[in-house]
Amino acid sequence: MKNLYDEYSLLASKEVTRKYSTSFYAGVNRLDKRIRSDIHSIYGFVRVADEIVDSFHDFNKTVLLNEFSVATFLAIERGISVNPILNAFQLTVNKYNIDHELIIQFLKSMEMDLNPVNYTQESYEEYILGSAEVVGLMCLKVFVHGNEEEYAKLKPYAIKLGSAFQKINFLRDLNDDVNDLGRIYFPGLDVNNITKQTKIDIENEIQEEFNEALIGIKMLPKSARLGVYISYRYYVKLLIEIKEKQPQDLLNARVRVPDSIKVVIFCKCLVRNSMNLL
pLDDT digits (tens, 9 = 90+) for 80-110: 999 999 999 999 999 999 999 999 999 999 9
- Would you state the pLDDT for residue 193? 85
Nearest to 13 by CA among 98, 90, 93, 88: 88
- Would you state the pLDDT for residue 267? 93
Distance of alpha carbon 169 from alpha carbon 239, whole angstroms: 10
The DSSP 8-state label assigned to residue 249 in this structure reads: G
Report the SS3 class of residue 51: helix
- Would you state the pLDDT for residue 212? 97
pLDDT at 190 over 90: no
pLDDT, tens digit (0-9, with 9 covering 90-100), for 155-175: 999 999 999 999 999 999 998
- Would you state the pLDDT for residue 46? 98
CA dihedral 7, 13, 14, 17 (to 10 degrees): 180
In the chain, where are the structural domains located?
A: 2-274
Residue 218: phi and psi, rounded to 5, are -70, -15
Distance of alpha carbon 10 from alpha carbon 14, whole angstroms: 6
Specify whether the CB–CB gap between 171 and 250 falls below 8 A: yes
pLDDT, tens digit (0-9, with 9 covering 90-100), for 108-139: 999 999 998 889 999 999 999 999 999 999 99
pLDDT band at 237 (very low <50, low <70, confident <90, very high): very high
pLDDT at 51 over 90: yes
Percent of the chain at pLDDT exceeding 70: 100
pLDDT at 182 over 90: no
Phi-psi region of 145 (alpha: psi -120 to 50; beta: other; left: phi over 0): left
The CATH class given to the 2-274 domain equals mainly alpha
Nearest to 134 by CA among 98, 168, 170, 167: 98
- Would you state the pLDDT for residue 188? 86
Distance of alpha carbon 257 from alpha carbon 251, whole angstroms: 17
Specify whether the CB–CB gap between 188 and 243 falls below 8 A: no
